[in-house]
Amino acid sequence: MTAISAATVANASAADPGTVQGAASISVLRRAIDSQAQGAAQLIASLPQPLPVAAGSPGSLLNVYA
C-alpha cells in the first residue's frame, strides 16, 4: 500500500459518516478502491492464456488453472 492510499484509508476510517467531511473521505476511498480494481482487472485480462499440453506428456490428463 502506498503512502497516499494508506492516508486515504486512515482518513476514511477516522471520519464520521454523518458529516460532510466524513462522507467525502469515504467517497474518495471508494473511488480509489474502484480505480485499483479496474487496474487489477486490466492486468489480469492482459495475461496470456497458457498453451495446451501435448497428449501423452505430463499435465495432459489434468488441466487445472489457479
Assigned domain for 65 exists: no
Print the domain residue range for 19. Answer: 3-46
Write the pLDDT tens digit of every residue in 43-65: 999 999 887 777 777 766 666 66
Q: How many residues does the chain have?
A: 66
Measured CA angle at 63 (ends 60, 64), to 5 deg: 145
Q: Is residue 11 part of a domain?
A: yes
What's the predicted TM-score (pTM) here? 0.58
| Average pLDDT, rounded, for the chain | 79
**Residue 19 — pLDDT band, cuts 50, 70, 90?**
confident
Residue 20 parent element (H or E): helix 20-46
Q: What is the pLDDT of residue 9?
A: 75
Is pLDDT above 90 for 42? yes
Kindly state whether residue 63 falls inside one of the protein's structural domains: no
Task: Tell me the three cell numbers of residue 65.
Answer: 488453472
Q: Number of folded domains in the chain?
A: 1
